[in-house]
Amino acid sequence: MIVADASVLIAHLDANDVHHGRAGILLEAAALMPLRASTITLAEVLAGPARSGRIEQARKALRTLDVRELTLEEGSAPRLAALRAETGLKLPDCCMLLAGLESGAQGIVSFDDRLVAAAAQRGLAWSER
């Protein structure tokens, strides 16, 4: 299983995004494994389409990619806080990272070098960058 960061999914959904082509390459490389995203990540991805009245189109595109939602386990707040303190990453990135760790993911796809490094330090090293 691969966990996708909002940066990759947003770029994939927006043909005008500067990283659109790169996002397609990353997602294609990850296509042999199940693709997942944290609840927070999916909310980030859907915020723009919600503002522009295109949320259903975005949801359909995510279903086409077979992106499934990962929720955090009950009682995850202390682990989430520890990740935030240890890595200095923003809370949404920590949610994505913790979802990957708790679900036993093989790796992540992200354009965020700090997030990729934090994931690699914790055994989530897969990334076709």
Backbone angles phi, psi at 14, to 5 degrees: -115, 105
- Other CB atoms within 10 Å distance of the CB of residue 93: 26
b (16+ CB within 10 A) / e for 34-63: ebbbbebbbebbbeebeeeeeeeebeebbe
Global model pTM greater than 0.85: yes
- What residues does each domain of the chain span? 2-121
What pLDDT shows up at residue 128? Answer: 52
In angstroms, the CA 7 to CA 111 distance is 6
Answer for the pair 112, 5: CB distance below 8 angstroms, yes or no: yes
In angstroms, the CA 40 to CA 74 distance is 15
* Burial group, residue 101, by CB count within 10 angstroms (0-12, 13-18, 19+): middle
Q: Give me the amino acid identity at 89.
A: L
In angstroms, the CA 32 to CA 98 distance is 22
What pLDDT shows up at residue 32? Answer: 84
Residues with pLDDT less than 70, the chain: 126-129
Tens-place pLDDT, residues 87-104? 999 999 999 999 999 999
Superfamily of domain 2-121: 5'-nuclease (3.40.50.1010)
